[in-house]
Chains A and B, each alone.
Chain A
Amino acid sequence: MASSLTLANVDAGYGAVRVLEDVSLTVGAGETVALLGTNGNGKSTLMKSIMGIVRPSAGRITATIDDATHELVGRSTEEIVDLGIAFVPEGRRLFPKQTVTENLLLGAYRPTARSAIARNLDFCFETFPRLKERARQLAGSMSGGEQQMLALARALMSSPRILLIDEPSVGLAPLLVSRTIDKIKELKEGFNLTVLMAEQNFTQAVRIADRGYVIVHGRIAFEGESAEALNNNELIREFYLGA
């Protein structure tokens, strides 16, 4: 059962300010695609357009979930999540006054996910043993790394087919960044997910990505068909490697 995501000629912005211009992008079934770019180039806006948080002014966004295709533009955020697309937003957006377990159970609010709750919870606790230790702790009192793990685990509790992650490495120590990226790979394989990940940390993102797009000033500036192609690209050298 294949799940994929396609953006075709999407324009989006806030009021009169246009952030995305003519963005086309695909995430194929079972792929991990990296969306690369420095701050302020439109990565988050692109994620928010897919999730129905920002409404595109032009273009189409379609998702194929288990071989059924849905148009996403015009749907509410909760409808999109209910289709099977989970989003880990920038800043994690946990419920700080709820415990770890309560946060995870809220992740399973989606009716389809409720029957899989025990299995998903076991998987999350197995992948993130720290969350099991802290099951009764309030989410707001945990460290940044633990919060990022909880945000990932909570997204998986909804039994998604497609996972969107915005800047998983923000605010984490270098060692934690590489561990988080490894975990994303592990989760992707465990849940058989299709993943789109926005990231500034080029070297880390490329470690697990099959392909990537570089976004500059709201336009797709380069499309790398492999991690290698990304590594050897001039633009990326200029932006990230300072060469």
Chain B
Amino acid sequence: MDASLDLLLNAVISGLLLGGFYAAVSIGVAISFGMLDIVNIAHPGFILLGSYVAYFANTVLGMDPILAAVIALPAFYALGALVYQIYYIAFERRQDQSLGGLSFFFGLLFITEVGLVLIFGVDYRLVQARYIGPSLNLGWVELPLRLFVPFLVSMVMVVGLQLFLSRSFLGRAIEAVAQDQLALRLMAANPTRIKRVAFGLSFATAAIAGAILIIIQPVEPSIGREYIGRVFAICVLGGLGSFSGMVIAAVTLGVVESLTATFFGPSWAPAVSFGVLLVTLAVRPSGILGR
């Protein structure tokens, strides 16, 4: 087999797996920014919080990082509901969400990062699990399990949330809440409660995304900032409010970055991914699957 074809195939595969990880990182923002109009730029910080919960459970209790994230889900949900309640009382209720809300979440990002630095220090941390290290050999391609397991977990989370949003009454109300709050009240739903639940869910995804992140790479408290631009790019590229568009965008970005890194060097990867965003916005401003 030709060496460069082999390289191409492996680059595409690892790009797909990387895309799955991007989807897990972006889904929280797809809910808060895409569906609730809440510019939650602190989400990468919350993801890091998830990473350190997984790290703590793994090193101290010897627990699997993904299992630790699943156990932490209710606590993350509750924390998210609390953050929304504060945001609602301090900003949204007073119609001050655009600038005031932005600084609120910027502040939360700093508090989360500094809190993690104070507790865990600035060194890179990593976790141990059986699937970190070995690869599945499928003939032409190597499937590293430390990427493949997170990919599967991410897809389960995305599909689960998509089913919840499209099939349940609460989910459909979440999809509609940003469009017309009075209309939603006329459907007997309380918009503030709906947004609180949705933001709680958005925050809870950070537990899973954080565990995935620390499985894929070692983390330190400010590493989340690397993802802020990329996450918002993925949500806008996919079309705000559309999960399937977000997944397509995440996978596209993953593959494009992986190909660029393989053939032109890793430093070009961000330039190419934001280039893709610019072109998409010029051709189709509502994103790939935006309504």
Contacts and interface: CB of A to CB of B under 8 A. Distances in A.
A18 interface: no
Contacts of A107: 187
Interface residues of B, number: 18
Contacts of A93: 180, 182-183, 186
A53 B186 CA distance: 10
B172 A158 contact: no
A191 interface: no
Contacts of A97: 179, 241, 291
B23 interface: no
A181 B8 CA distance: 65
A92 to B, nearest CB: 9
Contact of A78 (B175, B179, B180, B189): B189
B186 A89 contact: yes
Nearest to B185: A77
Interface in A103-147: 105-110, 114, 138
B188 A87 contact: no
Contacts of A22: none
Contact of A81 (B173, B175, B188): B188
A9 interface: no
B217 interface: no
B186 A138 contact: no
Contacts of B291: 97, 138
Contacts of A239: none
Given A53-B182, A97-B291, A81 B187 contact: yes
Contact of A106 (B173, B182, B241): B173
B162 interface: no
Interface string B187-225: 111100000000000000000000000000000000000
Nearest to A86: B186
A95 B185 contact: no
Nearest to A89: B186
A98 interface: yes
A117 to B, nearest CB: 10
B169 interface: yes
A94 interface: yes
A107 B189 CA distance: 10
B172 A106 contact: yes
Contact of B190 (A76, A89, A96, A158): A76
A95 B189 contact: no
A102 B187 contact: no
A95 B182 CA distance: 11
A86 B183 CA distance: 11
B176 interface: yes
B188 A95 contact: no
Contact of B183 (A94, A102, A108): A94
Contacts of B186: 51, 77, 81, 86-87, 89, 93, 155
A82 interface: yes
Nearest to A82: B188
A55 B173 CA distance: 25
Interface string A64-106: 0000000000001110011000110100011111100010011
A110 B188 contact: yes
B176 A106 contact: yes
12 contacts: A53-B182, A76-B190, A78-B185, A78-B189, A81-B185, A81-B187, A93-B180, A94-B183, A102-B176, A110-B187, A155-B186, A158-B188
Interface of B: 169, 172-173, 175-176, 179-180, 182-190, 241, 291
